[in-house]
Structure 1
Amino acid sequence: MTLIVILCIFLMTGDRYQWVYIWKKTFWRDMTGLRVLLITMFTIWMWDRTGTTVVSRWEKVWKKEPNKRAFVMGDRAITFREGNEFSNRIARYFKRQGFKTGEVIALFMETQPEYVFIWLGLAKLRVTTALVSSNLRGAQLIHCLRIAGCKAVVFGDEMTDVIKSIQNEIPDIPLFQFNSPERESVAILQDTIPLATELDEISSEQFTDVEPASTRDTLLYIYTSGTTGFPKAAIITNIRYLLIPLGVHTSGRLTSSDILYDPLPLHHTAGGVLGAGQCLILGLTVVLRKKFSAT
């Protein structure tokens, strides 16, 4: 009893009572944060130990609810099954084009449902995708293609004028133009390959022609903003891609029945990893927009 009295006197003298008050107010918040950290790190540890990658995780996710909407944008939606079939076509097509494990292909387009499944298909081939900002032009754009060692560029039909302006500067890099379904009539830029048309002839059967990747393999390159010079390519490995959305998923207590609104660019970490990853590795439906709108 004496010890308790002494302890109370000690805590109530000076400014120590403030620490007691702070501890009381923040205890459950800190416990919640600790819980999120432990769950996230344990799950990542298990995934790392079992060799789980974005592709292998996706294979489990899409099979659970294949007819569920994966990505929605405007009046268009792609189900998990359709996204998987599209990514299989991408993997098989670029394998036929001679691309190999470890090579890099740039993805240069604005937000659309096919965006994520293009780089997912390349990941099935163990080709790294450089997610190039659709805002880049001229020297900065060329720099991003060169610094990552890109062997090809997949660009959206909305970027034809930009690509045309640098075409003479990158004669050694094959160019693949992808026309979205609602813009099939857009003319194909000269000396480029019509990717959407080519994919129509490719099988959507499950692609298993390449040995599985490791958790430490480079999945993506995501560029810095370039505010202090030319953009720099940051390495996103499989395990890093898995970690970022999982932490948000756990802390937000999200479930696969939730719908996430993602108005951020898919070439950014926030939009393309934190947001799109909720779909790819955790099974949520993600609604895409090119920019934020409250309506």
Structure 2
Amino acid sequence: MEASGGDQTVLNAINSRGIQVLIKLKFNIILAQYYNLTLSKCFEINFKKHPEKVALISGDRKWTFKEVEQFSNQVANYFSSERLKAGDEVALFMPSIPENTMIFLGLSKIGVKVALINENLRMDPLIHSITCVNAKAVIFDAEFENAISDAYSSLKQKKQLSFYCYGELKDTTIAASSLSEKMKEHRTDCAIAKHNGNFTDVICYIYTSGTTGLPKAAIIRNSRFVIAAKMKNIVLDLKSNDITYNALPLYHTIGAVFGVGASFVCGQTVVISRKFSASRFWEECYKYNCTVAGYIGEVCRYLLAQPDKPTDKLHKVRKLCGVGLRPTIWKEFVERFNIDSR
């Protein structure tokens, strides 16, 4: 089987440092199993290690690990007061912003499984994605209130759902609680109903694209989330001071696991871009001093189609992590953008 450009990079890395990489990966898997690691446990380790380190960046806003801890604790405590508990499922329908990831983390602290809904879905695909899992609640951003409004009556007919809006809701026909306001009433210092969880527990659902039918919910366990994030670090030989640029959606595996996982699991800083922009990609990498970036094949093709700019090589990105890049353009890509292809 012929590997894609991105896949071939991983293979080359393993071939050049083969035994060392495999031993380190195996050792990390054993440790993760032994300590029964979960996403929330990994985050707690990193928060206690460096609370004032920047965890997330979006635009001009920076969130330290301490601020992420406080925000996610408020989320956990509010939903505990709403009687959500370990094993319950919630649909999360939000744009790619830090609040998305922190709500996800807060829910994971109390053992709630989160269905990461594609923000581009509307009507039938949206209704299906929310109802195909055993969701008790829908958390949505005010930006998507029209999409929820259009699907609201159908959702209420299919399931008994509670609705929570992050941001200011203008549509009064939607009976939704204000998450952004209600969570402020709760403690920041700890998650009162904290659920320790297990390495093998389901943490979230990530959906297929739906190109051959309606989206299908793939089960993601703590084990897969934690090990995949650690594997990226090991294979690419990343350090604690590496900064990841993530312009991929947070409902996508690369954006959620390899992007957010770099911060919550591996303790690094992650820059979250609201949407991918080929014209701003390298400029933002340069602006935030990013050293790692995520991609899917289309991203690289769009970047190559852009006119040459000084930032093509001025940035500090030396590693890429992703899938779907054809070998035919890999050489051109790494040479033009000065990427370490070893």
Shorter-chain-normalised TM-score: which range? 0.7 to 0.9
Aligned ranges 1:78-157 → 2 under 5 Å: 78-157=63-142
Q: Which residue of 2 aligns with 1:257?
A: 241
Question: Which of 222, 229, 241 is the matching residue for 2:213?
Answer: 229
Q: For structure 1, which runs of at least 5 residues remain unmatched after alignment?
A: 1-25
Cα offset, 1:39, TM superposition: 0.8
Q: Which residue of 2 aligns with 1:202?
A: 186
Residue 283 (str. 1) matches residue 292 (str. 2): no
Q: CA separation in 2, counterparts of 1:176 and 1:101?
A: 18
- How many pairs align? 265
Q: CA separation in 2, counterparts of 1:98 and 1:244?
A: 31
Q: Which residue of 1 aligns with 2:144?
A: 159
Q: Which residue of 1 aligns with 2:170?
A: 187
1:54-74 CA distance string (max 9 Å, x none): 111111101111111111011
Q: Which residue of 1 aligns with 2:38?
A: 53
1:21-52 CA distance string (max 9 Å, x none): xxxxx999624133222211211111112211
Q: Contact 1:77–1:113 (CA<8 Å) still a contact in 2?
A: no
1:149-208 CA distance string (max 9 Å, x none): 1110111111111001011111221111102xxxx5x63653111110111111112115
Residue type of the alignment partner of 1:231: P
Larger radius of gyration: 1
Q: TM-score, normalised by structure 2?
A: 0.74
Percent identity, please. 35
> Which SS does the other structure have where 2:185 is aligned?
coil
Label 1:212 to 1:170 Cα distance change in 2 as closer, same or farther (>3 A). same
Q: Which residue of 2 aligns with 1:9?
A: none
Q: Contact 1:188–1:194 (CA<8 Å) still a contact in 2?
A: no
Q: For structure 2, which runs of at least 5 residues remain unmatched after alignment?
A: 1-10, 284-342
Q: Which residue of 1 aligns with 2:17?
A: 32
Q: Which residue of 2 aligns with 1:73?
A: 58
Residue type of the alignment partner of 2:161: I
Q: Which residue of 2 aligns with 1:63?
A: 48
Q: TM-score, normalised by structure 1?
A: 0.86
Q: Contact 2:21–2:235 (CA<8 Å) still a contact in 1?
A: yes
Q: Contact 2:131–2:155 (CA<8 Å) still a contact in 1?
A: no
> Which SS does the other structure have where 1:170 is aligned?
helix
Cα offset, 1:219, TM superposition: 0.4
Label 1:259 to 1:224 Cα distance change in 2 as closer, same or farther (>3 A). same
Label 1:256 to 1:167 Cα distance change in 2 as closer, same or farther (>3 A). same
Residue 268 (str. 1) matches residue 252 (str. 2): yes
Residue 219 (str. 1) matches residue 203 (str. 2): yes
Q: CA separation in 2, counterparts of 1:37 and 1:188?
A: 53
Question: Which of 238, 244, 248 is the matching residue for 2:222?
Answer: 238
Cα offset, 1:211, TM superposition: 3.9
1:101-128 CA distance string (max 9 Å, x none): 1110011011111111101111111000
Cα offset, 1:287, TM superposition: 0.6
User: Which stretches of structure 1, 4 residues or more, deviate above 4 A after TM superposition?
Assistant: 26-29
Q: CA separation in 1, counterparts of 2:154 and 2:85?
A: 24
Residue type of the alignment partner of 2:36: G
